[in-house]
A and B are shown apart, each in its own frame.
Chain A
Amino acid sequence: MSSTVNLVIECQGVGFHYGKNRALQDISFAISEGEYVGIVGGNGSGKTTLLKIILGLLSPSQGEVRIFGQKVSEFKDWDKIGYVPQNVFRGDLGFPATVREVIESGHLQASTFWCRFGTQGCVDVLVVAKRCGVDHLLKKRIGELSGGERQRVFIARALVSAPRLLILDEPTAGIDSETEEQFYAFINELHLSGLTVVLVSHDLEAVRREVGMVLCLNRRLVCHGKPESLEQKEVLEALYGNKKNILHHEHNDHV
């Protein structure tokens, strides 16, 4: 596969097996710089496995993944990628860390030796915190925050290294609808500022509404195209079998 400069993620014939179980089969697609892509699929469709392969956490059984033109196994410039995992901060709520410390941890390539242990002045944590609306929480402990606030803190953490690609895994799981709306507005703002965004979600409604392109996954790539393809019966059947019904709400045209 040729590596074009503006291609952020390239997957070519990617497959993965958990023991004898095939989790992914022959996945090929490319994501260009500035795109806002949603990866959707049901439980066990291989969304998280694909994400882990893209991030180099798992090695594919077949095929190849390139990030910013480089093989993922050889990729070193991790500051270019901001990642917000599913259920951010799965740790103990008593973990002794302030919001500032969590955001600072996103910048491992700090410029000077003292920055690595210092508290202020090296990384512009305050600017990122303000942008994410968590500047008033900087001195609070991470365990004291609500789910929505924690989500924003980890996005700020992902943004502090000024990445070119933001990957979000099920970012709205466990947060209320009002916070969810604010969250998507914020991600859209980031995308409009030029950031490439990959959103992994099982929420078809949100993905259809928010993203510019979708990758539909059910162990293999069901479709790669405009979010409107999620309204097609055959796509939904390939994704979920016959279990998913399409409901159109006439007042807002939501699926």
Chain B
Amino acid sequence: MSIFSLFQFDFIVRAFEAGLLLGILAPLVGMFLVVRHYSLLADALAHVSLLGVALALFFKIPIFIGALFTSVMAAISIERLRRDRRVLGESVIALFLSSSLALSIVIINLKDGVNVNLISYLFGSLTTVAERDVFILAGLVTVTLSFLLFYYRELFLLSLDEELAKVSGIRVERLSTLFMVLAACTVTASLQMVGVLLIGALMVVPVLTAMQFRLGFRTTLLLSVVFSLLSVVSGFFLAYFFDVASGGAIVIVAVIFFLLVNVLDRLKTIFFLRRA
């Protein structure tokens, strides 16, 4: 079967569209998480979303609502705890990650049948994407792009130096919380497609790959979207032809890009050192 004949199936078209939207969205949010030393936040929020899924299955409410509510609440709480400095640095993230996972396990034990549905969220699948999911993702991409266009300089300065941002008149707490809520929405919307265990990697790895080129902020941001899209498209077809989980295939391709750029960068350094 040729690559193009794949697109005669509606579910493949939907999966491809969702993958492309996710490929744009994840690094746009991930870039600001990486430069603010918040790389593990996506993982923590994904685990909190899993708790939301478990609670939704337990109380029989819509899964998306449950996951979105818990992850947004967690994002706001993490930001507040970090600002209060009552819990040290990134340990706030570890606290939320482990406690939400523990609660999810307890809920699984309390109710039979929940575990089967819950486990499907651990690894995710692009092929189970519904039309509604594509619309939610498209809306989120639009909101994120608009947010970045309006607040790009503020977010850049916030990432560079929070004190300078405050003295420049930026309402740092409000902007930071808004961004955290956006990150929570991104994680929740991506959960079903990439899975709890891999969403963090999709948000972070393409950014790390782009950063190895040692370019400016804007160029790195655009380059991370390019690497993310390349990873999603390549991973998507690999997953189909080798019949493996799409989330895993996408992240493996993203990691291969990272390694490739890293090796080429080292070879370039050795080459220039020898010539010098």
Contact = CB atoms under 8 A, between A and B. Distances in A.
Interface of A: 55-57, 76, 78-79, 81, 83, 85, 89-92, 94-98, 100-102, 104-108, 110, 113, 116-117, 119, 141
Given A57-B166, A85-B163, A97 B156 contact: yes
Given A78-B167, A83-B167, A101-B218, A96 B211 contact: yes
Given A78-B169, A116-B150, A141-B216, 19 more contacts: A78-B168, A81-B167, A83-B167, A85-B163, A89-B161, A92-B35, A95-B35, A95-B160, A96-B211, A96-B220, A97-B160, A97-B217, A105-B168, A107-B153, A108-B157, A110-B153, A113-B149, A119-B218, A141-B215
Interface string B161-174: 10110111110000
Contacts of A83: 164, 167
A85 B170 CA distance: 16
Interface residues of B, number: 28
A132 to B, nearest CB: 17
A131 B152 CA distance: 26
B132 interface: no
Contacts of B217: 96-98, 101
Contacts of B159: 95
Contact of A108 (B154, B161, B216): B154
B216 A104 contact: no
Contacts of A117: 148-149, 152, 218
B139 to A, nearest CB: 21
Interface in B47-75: none
A119 to B, nearest CB: 7
B149 A96 contact: no
A98 B35 CA distance: 14
